[in-house]
């Protein structure tokens, strides 16, 4: 690119192209919502069938989430070394999810309470809803609300069914919005105005 | 009636830099170079002109022992960009 004067039409075209480029650089690619949605959905459905068919397991299947978390932290640290652009929303979103991870782990290790799928679904909804608000992205907002609706449905179900509902909550809150974010990201990257 | 276009922004490379910075918090020099396809020398001159006009801020840091130059748009820069886009609209056929 040279330092030449532009016609008015060229100026508009250039602004549009550059805004599309910067948007696609900082846009969420949908990777982590899909990754976590699949992980939680898998763990929930596995636990449901494990309890239903009384399979013997040497460990709680949800411990897989710690491996998933370790992989995510490793990848984020690795990618941050090559990061050369940042958006305004990254920091508040990161803090929201850090708070969620801490809260859910404190709840998960509480020896005084029995496992409650309802509490977890309520918790899944909070960061999802807030992230949707920060990103101004309706599928995530609706995903958060879906978690709370499923938690209310859980009032009328037994503990085993609540575990299955958790799997559906993960799909509604993260897998579906994640796939939609991915699709939007690919469209912006191609230069399609969305 | 046609409005005057800001001469600082009405140049290909400077407009590209400001358009890139308008929707992000900050971006480093290598990102701007990569996205605009400009040479380092030319980009450096144009970035300095934008800084002198008060449209962008430049922060020099070190990352992994390598110098890193971060650029971010200022409030003046955002206002100038908005005025520029509004002025451009007057030139377009209705």
Whether residue B1 lies inside any domain: the answer is: no
Q: How many CB atoms lie within 10 A of CB A86?
A: 19
Please state the domain count of chain A.
Answer: 1
**Residue A86, SS3?**
strand
pLDDT, tens only, B41-81: 999 999 999 999 999 999 998 877 788 899 999 999 999 99
Whether residue B2 lies inside any domain: the answer is: no
Whether residue A37 lies inside any domain: the answer is: yes
Which residue in B has a C-alpha nearest to residue A8's C-alpha? B88
Please state the domain count of chain B.
Answer: 1
**Residue B59, SS3?**
strand
Instruction: Supply B54's token pair.
Output: 């008060």
- Expressed as residue numbers, the domain containing A46 is 32-75+90-192
Whether residue A185 lies inside any domain: the answer is: yes
pLDDT of B94: 65
The Cα of A19 is separated from the nearest Cα of chain B by a number of Å equal to 6
pLDDT, tens only, A6-24: 788 888 899 999 988 888 8
pLDDT, tens only, A26-72: 788 899 999 999 999 999 999 999 999 999 888 889 999 999 999 99
Q: What is the pLDDT confidence band of residue A1, given thresholds at 50, 70 and 90?
A: low
Q: Is the pLDDT of residue B33 over 70?
A: yes
Q: Do B23 and A23 touch (CB under 8 A)?
A: yes
Angle A95-A99-A100 from CA coordinates, rounded to 5°: 115
Q: Which of A84, A89, A90 to mutate to test the interface with B (most CBs of B within 10 A)?
A: A84
Whether residue B77 lies inside any domain: the answer is: yes
Whether residue A15 lies inside any domain: the answer is: no
Which residue in B has a C-alpha nearest to residue A22's C-alpha? B20
Whether residue B7 lies inside any domain: the answer is: no
Whether residue A154 lies inside any domain: the answer is: yes
Q: Which of B7, B67, B88, B94 to mutate to test the interface with A (most CBs of A within 10 A)?
A: B88
Q: Do A22 and B20 touch (CB under 8 A)?
A: yes
Whether residue A152 lies inside any domain: the answer is: yes
Q: What is the mean pLDDT of residues B19-28?
A: 92
Q: What is the pLDDT confidence band of residue A3, given thresholds at 50, 70 and 90?
A: low
pLDDT of A2: 63
pLDDT of A105: 87
Whether residue B59 lies inside any domain: the answer is: yes
Whether residue B8 lies inside any domain: the answer is: no
Closest CA to A191 of A1, A10, A21: A21
- Expressed as residue numbers, the domain containing B46 is 26-91
Whether residue A10 lies inside any domain: the answer is: no
Q: Write the ipTM.
A: 0.87
pLDDT, tens only, A81-129: 777 888 888 899 999 999 999 999 888 777 776 667 899 999 999 999 9
The CATH number linked to B50 is: 1.10.10.10
pLDDT, tens only, A143-153: 999 999 999 99
The chain B residues in contact with chain A (CB within 8 A) are 5, 10-16, 19-28, 30-31, 35-38, 42, 45-46, 63-64, 85, 88, 91-92
Q: Do A85 and B27 touch (CB under 8 A)?
A: yes
Rounded Cα–Cα distance for residues A31 and A67 (Å): 17
Q: Is the pLDDT of residue A194 over 50?
A: no
Closest CA to A181 of A137, A151, A121, A123: A137
Task: Answer for the pair B29, B69: CB distance below 8 angstroms, yes or no.
Answer: yes
């Amino acid at each position: 690119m040279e330092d030449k004067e532009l016609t008015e039409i060229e100026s508009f075209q250039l602004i549009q192209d550059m805004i599309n480029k910067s948007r696609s650089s900082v846009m969420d690619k949908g990777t982590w919502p899909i990754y976590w949605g699949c992980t939680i959905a898998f763990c929930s459905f596995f636990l449901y069938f494990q309890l239903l068919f009384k399979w013997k397991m040497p460990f709680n299947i949800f411990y897989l989430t710690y491996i998933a978390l370790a992989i995510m932290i490793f990848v984020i640290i690795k990618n941050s070394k090559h990061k050369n652009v940042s958006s305004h929303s990254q920091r508040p979103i990161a803090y929201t999810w850090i708070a969620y991870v801490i809260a859910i782990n404190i709840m998960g290790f509480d020896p005084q309470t029995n496992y409650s799928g309802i509490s977890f679904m309520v918790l899944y909804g909070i960061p999802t809803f807030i992230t949707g608000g920060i990103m101004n992205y309706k599928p995530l907002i609706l995903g958060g609300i879906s978690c709370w609706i499923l938690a209310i449905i859980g009032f009328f179900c037994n503990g085993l069914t609540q575990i299955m509902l958790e799997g559906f909550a993960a799909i509604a809150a993260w897998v579906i919005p994640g796939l939609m974010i991915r699709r939007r990201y690919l469209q912006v990257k191609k230069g399609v105005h969305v | 009636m046609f409005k005057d276009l800001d001469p600082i922004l009405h140049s290909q490379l400077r407009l590209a830099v400001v358009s890139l910075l308008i929707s992000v918090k900050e971006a480093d020099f290598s990102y701007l170079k990569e996205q605009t396809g400009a040479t380092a020398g030319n980009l450096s001159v144009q970035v300095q002109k934008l800084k002198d006009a008060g449209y962008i801020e430049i922060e020099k840091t070190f990352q992994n022992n390598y110098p890193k130059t971060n650029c971010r748009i200022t409030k003046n820069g955002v206002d100038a960009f908005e005025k520029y886009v509004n002025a451009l609209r007057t030139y377009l056929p209705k």
